[in-house]
């Protein structure tokens, strides 16, 4: 991972970790829920074989595919925000010469 | 499948069986027609979709010429019955979208809108620096990205409801058509049996006219419901086609550091 942080940042480590836990993790989880509710596995037969239904099924499959990708990208983005604040917390701990235990705890949070 | 479409399908199948048995009866007893001496003529104009367009003038004794027309209609009904579909499954998927999925998406929007607001975002005050500024600029964009989900979710849910309703309407019309068909054919059989014993063919002529009228009504009804279904599905298809471009291209991600120096 590239080191694109300035080393002079300041901030409250608890606030940053709180944002990771209370904002970005739940956001990712909820997007995961949304993705799970998308009707990606409906069989063509459910739409009937009445003329006209096949076109709807085809377009619905395409819409769900692009929506699934969009939501999946959103999950990755939410995860990136969460990582960003946790890495920032590590940066702040580093500049404050904080205890090693905090660093280990945040690294565990990052890997969770 | 638990939808009442299945019940309608079974009902239509039974009615087709009844109509087919009645037609077979008429076919097997064709000689009865020749013994009935009645002056009655009817004109048949088969619906275009069901059989070749032609005018047929019938004597009562030739009423069996109606039988191919009825067989075609029964065959058409049986074919349509096989279209099936599963409205219950479509509605369940639609409810998942309009319920749980919509709630989840709205929940994130609400949570993020409040948390990225400078008044509430905890790290706004405590985390300072260029990276923090860049992070916040991008974080503030996220509610809009999430809101973009709401319209497609609603549209897909509406389309699923619409297809489910269209399938049910189709089968209601089909079951109604099958019931009408069975009724008029049975009426014809009854009229012929009555004529054979009472010596009058008026009842046959009336029943035959009933068959002709019903065939035309059934054809018209099926064409109408098919047309409505087709138009409705074109509209649904159009709505889905428009969804693709409505989604933003990508989610911007924040810059990510690599921890304290030397870690």
Query: Are B75 and B112 in a shared domain?
Result: no
Q: Is residue B263 part of a domain?
A: no
Non-local CB neighbours of B56 within 8 Å, separated by 6+ positions: B43, B44, B46, B65
Domain presence at residue A75: yes
Nearest to B139 by CA among A33, A18, A3, A27: A27
> For residue A4, is it within any domain?
no
Is the ipTM reported for this complex over the cut 0.85?
A: no
Position B197 in a domain: yes
- The SS3 of residue A35 is helix
pLDDT digits (tens, 9 = 90+) for A22-71: 888 988 999 999 999 999 999 999 999 988 899 999 999 999 999 999 99
End-to-end CA, chain B:
59
CB contact under 8 A, B96 and A37: yes
For residues B162 and B233, membership in a common domain is answered with yes
Cα gap B49→B251, rounded to integer Å: 52
Nearest chain B Cα distance for residue A81, angstroms: 6
Please tell me which of the candidates B86, B258, B260 has its beta carbon nearest to residue A45. Answer: B86
The answer to whether A39 touches B93, Cβ cutoff 8 Å, is yes
- The distance of A58 to chain B (nearest Cα, Å) reads 9
Judgement on whether residues B65 and B159 belong to the same structural domain of the protein: yes
- Is residue A96 less than 8 Å (CB to CB) from chain B? no
- Counting every residue written for chain B, the total comes to 263
Would you give the DSSP letter of residue A47?
G
- pLDDT, position A59: 94
Share of chain B above pLDDT 70, in %: 72
pLDDT above 50 (res A79) = yes
User: For residues A9 and B132, is the Cβ–Cβ distance under 8 A?
Assistant: yes
Instruction: Give CA–CA dist B51/B68, Å, rounded.
Output: 9
Please check whether residue B256 lies inside any domain of the structure. Answer: no
Q: Is the pLDDT of residue B147 over 50?
A: yes
Query: Would you give the distance in Å from CA A63 to the centre of its chain?
Result: 21
Same domain, yes or no: B66 and B183:
yes
Asked if residue A3 is part of any domain, the answer here is: no
Q: Could you tell me the end-to-end alpha-carbon distance of chain A, in angstroms, rounded to an integer?
A: 18
Say how many domains are in chain A: 1
Mean pLDDT throughout B85-111? 89
Best of A4, A17, A53 to disrupt the B interface (most B CBs within 10 Å) is A53
Site from B118, B158, B260, B262 to mutate, A interface, most A CB atoms within 10 angstroms: B260
Domain encompassing residue A96: 13-111
Q: Name the closest residue on chain A to residue B222, using Cα atoms.
A: A50
- The answer, for B218 touching chain A at a CB cutoff of 8 Å, is no
Residues of chain B found within 8 Å of residue A11, distances taken between Cβ atoms = 123, 126-129, 132
Q: Which of B131, B262, B263 sits opposite A6 (nearest CB)?
A: B131
> At residue A9, does pLDDT exceed 60?
no
Is the model's pLDDT at B57 over the cut of 60?
no
Kindly state whether residue B171 falls inside one of the protein's structural domains: yes
Band of residue A107 on the pLDDT scale cut at 50, 70, 90: confident
Instruction: Report yes or no on B259 lying in a domain.
Output: no
Q: Does residue B123 lie within any of the structural domains?
A: yes
**What is the largest distance, in Å, between two alpha-carbon atoms of chain A?**
71
Q: A103: pLDDT confidence band, cut at 50, 70 and 90?
A: confident
Out of A8, A66, A81, the one facing B254 most closely (by C-beta) is A81
Chain B residues inside the 8 Å CB shell of A4: 131, 255-257
Q: What is the 3-state secondary structure (H, E, C) of chain B?
A: CCCHHHHHHHHHHHHHHHHHHHHHHHHHCHHHHHHCCCCCEEEECCCCCCCCCCCEEEEHHHHHHHHHHHHHHHHHHHHHHCCCCCHHHHHHHHHHHHHHHHHHHHHHHHHHHHHCCCCCCHHHHHCECHHHHHHHHHHCCHHHHHHCCHHHHHHHHHHHHHHHHHHHHHHHHHHHHHHHHHHHHHHHHHHHHHHHHHCCCHHHHHHHHHHHHHHHHHHHHHHHHHHHHHHHHHHHHHHHHHHHHHCCCCCCCCCCCCCCCCC
Query: What pLDDT, on the 0 to 100 scale, is given for residue B162?
Result: 95
Length of chain A: 112
Q: Is the pLDDT of residue B40 over 60?
A: no
Q: ∠ CA A5-A76-A28 to the nearest 5 degrees?
A: 110
Q: How far is A43 from chain B (nearest CA, A)?
A: 9
Residue B261 lies in a domain: no
Residues B204 and B139 in one domain: no
Q: What is the average pLDDT value for chain B, to the nearest integer?
A: 77
Most A-contacting residue of B146, B232, B257, B262 (CB-CB within 10 A), to test interface? B257
Taking CB atoms and an 8 Å cut-off, how many pairs form between chains A and B? 233
Report the candidate in B238, B177, B88 with the shortest Cα–Cα distance to residue A45. Answer: B88
Rounded to the nearest 10 degrees, how much is the dihedral formed by the CA atoms of A80, A81, A87, A92? 170
Contact present, B169 and B229 (Cβ < 8 Å): yes
For residue B41, the cross-strand partners are: B59
* CA–CA gap between residue B226 and residue B245 (Å, rounded): 31
Q: How far is CA B48 from CA B65, B178, B226, in A?
A: 17, 18, 15
**B126 plus B194 within the same structural domain:** no
pLDDT of residue A70: 92
The verdict on a CB contact (< 8 Å) between B93 and A103 is no
Taking residues B72-83, what's their average pLDDT?
88
**Would you tell me which residues 27-86 of chain A have a C-beta closer than 8 angstroms to some C-beta of chain B?**
27, 30-31, 33-34, 37-39, 42-43, 45-53, 55-56, 59-60, 62-64, 66-67, 70-71, 73-74, 76-78, 80-81, 83-85
Residues on chain A touching B101 (C-beta within 8 angstroms): 33-34, 37-38
Q: Residue B104 and residue B114: Cα distance in Å, rounded?
A: 16
Residues B36 and B162 in one domain: yes
- Domain span including residue B123: 90-148
Q: Is the pLDDT of residue B260 over 50?
A: no
What is the number of structural domains in chain B?
2
Q: What is the pLDDT averaged over residues A86-102? A: 73
Distances (CA, A) of B171 to B6, B72, B78: 9, 19, 12
Q: Could you read off the pLDDT of B224-240 as tens digits, one per residue?
A: 888 889 999 999 999 99
What is the rounded distance in angstroms from the CA atom of residue B104 to the CA atom of residue B97?
10
B11 and B133 belong to one structural domain = no
Contact with chain B for residue A88, Cβ under 8 A: yes
């Amino acid at each position: 991972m590239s080191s694109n942080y300035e080393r002079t940042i300041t901030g409250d480590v608890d606030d940053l970790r709180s944002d990771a836990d209370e904002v970005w993790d739940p956001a990712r989880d909820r997007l995961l829920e949304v993705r799970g509710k998308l009707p990606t596995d409906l069989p063509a037969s459910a739409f009937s074989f009445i003329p006209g239904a096949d076109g709807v099924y085809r377009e619905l499959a395409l819409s769900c595919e692009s929506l699934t990708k969009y939501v999946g990208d959103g999950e990755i983005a939410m995860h990136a925000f969460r990582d960003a604040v946790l890495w920032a917390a590590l940066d702040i701990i580093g500049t404050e010469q904080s205890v090693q235990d905090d660093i280990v705890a945040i690294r565990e949070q990052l890997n969770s | 499948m638990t939808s009442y479409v299945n019940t309608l399908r079974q009902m239509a199948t039974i009615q087709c069986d009844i109509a087919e048995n009645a037609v077979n009866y008429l076919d097997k007893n064709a000689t009865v027609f020749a013994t009935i001496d009645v002056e009655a003529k009817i004109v048949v104009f088969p619906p275009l979709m069901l059989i070749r367009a032609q005018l047929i003038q019938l004597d009562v004794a030739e009423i069996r010429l109606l039988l191919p027309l009825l067989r075609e209609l029964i065959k058409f009904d049986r074919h349509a019955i096989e279209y099936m579909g599963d409205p219950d499954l479509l509605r369940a998927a639609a409810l998942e979208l309009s319920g749980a999925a919509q709630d989840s998406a709205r929940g994130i929007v609400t949570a993020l809108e409040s948390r990225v607001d400078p008044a509430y975002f905890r790290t706004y005050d405590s985390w300072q620096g260029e990276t923090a500024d860049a992070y916040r600029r991008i974080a503030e964009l996220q509610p809009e990205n999430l809101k973009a989900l709401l319209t497609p979710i609603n549209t897909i849910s509406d389309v699923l409801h619409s297809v489910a309703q269209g399938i049910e309407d189709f089968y209601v019309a089909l079951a109604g058509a099958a019931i009408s068909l069975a009724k008029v054919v049975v009426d014809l059989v009854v009229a012929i049996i009555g004529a054979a014993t009472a010596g009058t063919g008026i009842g046959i002529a009336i029943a035959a006219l009933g068959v002709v009228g019903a065939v035309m009504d059934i054809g018209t009804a099926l064409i109408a419901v098919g047309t409505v279904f087709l138009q409705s599905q074109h509209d649904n298809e159009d709505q889905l086609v428009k969804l693709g471009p409505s989604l933003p291209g990508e989610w911007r991600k924040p810059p990510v550091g690599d921890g304290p120096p030397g870690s």
